Chains A and B, each alone.
Chain A
């Protein structure tokens, strides 16, 4: 069946369609660099979606829990073996993503006879010394987008672009405070939800609409948010935010 090039391209297209359909309703994940760290935020029905990877790294995701876990473990294993045998300083997101994760993801995507990975990741690394903050949005086919201030991963490419534009408009040149970052991330998430539900995208909802939508959704789900805090005194910079911490910002 796949002996002709055309067939293979067709198979890949089908695969793309299938994965995108499965991802479509995924809860968007937002990453924002704030004054003293990086925030990762999403809303989940229960399972955590933001994970600690290494001392200065976190990953969050949209997709099937089993696939998320598979990739999460992959990157955690690599980081720890590397950090142990060399140094913590040698564990960089650039290497983990480009030499570890994306080859695996691309291979899984291209192998049309096996079941695909239904997952998109947002991997973030807290910068230090001469390394800036890095936010890697990794697509289900292994393509990456790299940003330094903010990034977002959602169920579709169009929505990724839409939310990136929204973030670009609402973020200043300076990194915001954590409170502002949480509020912006929440609104961005709400816009994502709004766009998923809207049959046809006609006009931008107002800020009030977005807030109303946040409140409504939070009745059935909870916010999962964590920071990589550069001011933390321990070697691990990851900290999950408590419900109270988040609630205060949303008042």
Chain B
């Protein structure tokens, strides 16, 4: 019984990219800031829009937060070529499983599938040119403990960890992880926040990350390029629109600024 789309693809001659010999120090487009936080109704996932190669900015409209199915989102940091490939295989795999087996793949099964894909990519990661370190966020409709918004992060070898309240990845993430920890412990629990508050906080954190990490873009007011933000709640995925984001940005970043 064929249940795995990736096996099917390989049967049709698909080969995972790999390099012979040693990797070269080729400048890669792998820097970014991705974060996912739980809020009152589920999870918010956000990513900046910048793609860089060395010190050059390649692109300022990259979408690093990708819908996988009705209640799952993959946010990617690392080599975009491999990351988009993984996202694409994953999306097809979940659909293929549902359509061929006439039932949804369980959340555990989905996580396992992603883990396998990342492990598959290990040779590329070891060559130093194709590492992919994603965050997977989902809304668990079957959760019995009421803990419905789920956030998982992975290392380059495919090990999977569930995060209680937030996860960050990408080169800019080191600047904001501590801030998130501090806020969540001593200021206000993230999972009690309303959407507005949570999105405002994310804007501030992305701004902080872009202040210290050249590979993370802040809000670019000149060309009105906003970060990508999505929420997952019981109804599914919602992509937050620009008007809403601009309003929150104005209120939480510009007006509230004390400097």
Residues of B within 8 A of A83 (CB): 92
> How many angstroms from the CA of A76 to the CA of B102 in the assembled complex?
12
A115 lies within 8 A of chain B by Cβ: no
0/1 interface trace, chain A 164-193, chain B, CB 8 Å (1 if under) = 000000000000000000000000000000
Contact B102 A48 (CB under 8 A): yes
A112 lies within 8 A of chain B by Cβ: no
Residues of A within 8 A of B70 (CB): 234
Closest residue on chain B to residue A238 by CB atoms: B99
- Complex interface residues of chain A between 1 and 57 (CB less than 8 A to chain B): 48, 51-55
A236 lies within 8 A of chain B by Cβ: yes
Closest chain-B Cβ to A64's Cβ sits at a distance in Å of 17
A201 lies within 8 A of chain B by Cβ: no
B214 lies within 8 A of chain A by Cβ: no
Closest chain-A Cβ to B106's Cβ sits at a distance in Å of 18
Contact B14 A85 (CB under 8 A): yes
Residues of B within 8 A of A51 (CB): 99, 102
Closest chain-A Cβ to B95's Cβ sits at a distance in Å of 7
| Contact status of A80 and B92, CB under 8 A, knowing A85-B14, A234-B70 | yes
B5 lies within 8 A of chain A by Cβ: yes
Contact B2 A77 (CB under 8 A): yes
A-B contact count (CB 8 A): 36
- Complex interface residues of chain A between 55 and 79 (CB less than 8 A to chain B): 55, 73, 76-77
Closest chain-A Cβ to B13's Cβ sits at a distance in Å of 10
A99 lies within 8 A of chain B by Cβ: no
Contact A73 B92 (CB under 8 A): no
A81 lies within 8 A of chain B by Cβ: yes
| Contact status of A84 and B9, CB under 8 A, knowing A77-B2, A234-B70 | yes
Contact B96 A76 (CB under 8 A): yes
Give the most central of B9, B70, B100: most A CB within 10 Å.
Answer: B100
> How many angstroms from the CA of A76 to the CA of B12 in the assembled complex?
14
> How many residues on chain A are close to B (CB under 8 Å)?
16
Closest chain-B Cβ to A46's Cβ sits at a distance in Å of 13
> How many angstroms from the CA of A77 to the CA of B93 in the assembled complex?
11
- Complex interface residues of chain B between 11 and 36 (CB less than 8 A to chain A): 12, 14
> How many angstroms from the CA of A81 to the CA of B70 in the assembled complex?
21
Contact A81 B95 (CB under 8 A): no
B112 lies within 8 A of chain A by Cβ: no
Contact B14 A80 (CB under 8 A): no
Contact A73 B95 (CB under 8 A): no
> How many angstroms from the CA of A53 to the CA of B8 in the assembled complex?
16
| Contact status of A76 and B9, CB under 8 A, knowing A84-B89, A85-B14 | no
B88 lies within 8 A of chain A by Cβ: yes
Closest chain-B Cβ to A67's Cβ sits at a distance in Å of 16
Residues of A within 8 A of B61 (CB): none
Contact B99 A52 (CB under 8 A): yes
B98 lies within 8 A of chain A by Cβ: yes
Contact A81 B102 (CB under 8 A): no
Residues of A within 8 A of B236 (CB): 234
> How many angstroms from the CA of A51 to the CA of B100 in the assembled complex?
9
Residues of B within 8 A of A81 (CB): 8-9, 12
| Contact status of A76 and B92, CB under 8 A, knowing A81-B8, A81-B9 | no
Closest residue on chain A to residue B102 by CB atoms: A48
Residues of B within 8 A of A85 (CB): 9, 12, 14
Residues of A within 8 A of B14 (CB): 85
> How many angstroms from the CA of A59 to the CA of B2 in the assembled complex?
19
> How many angstroms from the CA of A187 to the CA of B98 in the assembled complex?
31
Closest chain-A Cβ to B91's Cβ sits at a distance in Å of 9
> How many angstroms from the CA of A48 to the CA of B100 in the assembled complex?
13
Closest chain-A Cβ to B7's Cβ sits at a distance in Å of 11
> How many angstroms from the CA of A18 to the CA of B8 in the assembled complex?
34
Contact A80 B95 (CB under 8 A): yes
Residues of A within 8 A of B88 (CB): 84
> How many angstroms from the CA of A53 to the CA of B95 in the assembled complex?
10
> How many angstroms from the CA of A55 to the CA of B102 in the assembled complex?
15
Residues of B within 8 A of A73 (CB): 2, 100
- Using a CB–CB cutoff of 8 Å, the interface residues on chain A facing chain B are 48, 51-55, 73, 76-77, 80-81, 83-85, 234, 236
Closest 9 CB pairs of A and B: A52-B99, A84-B92, A80-B96, A81-B12, A76-B99, A76-B100, A80-B92, A234-B70, A77-B8
A48-B102, A84-B89 given; 8 more Cβ-contact pairs under 8 Å: A73-B100, A76-B99, A76-B100, A77-B8, A80-B5, A80-B92, A81-B8, A85-B14
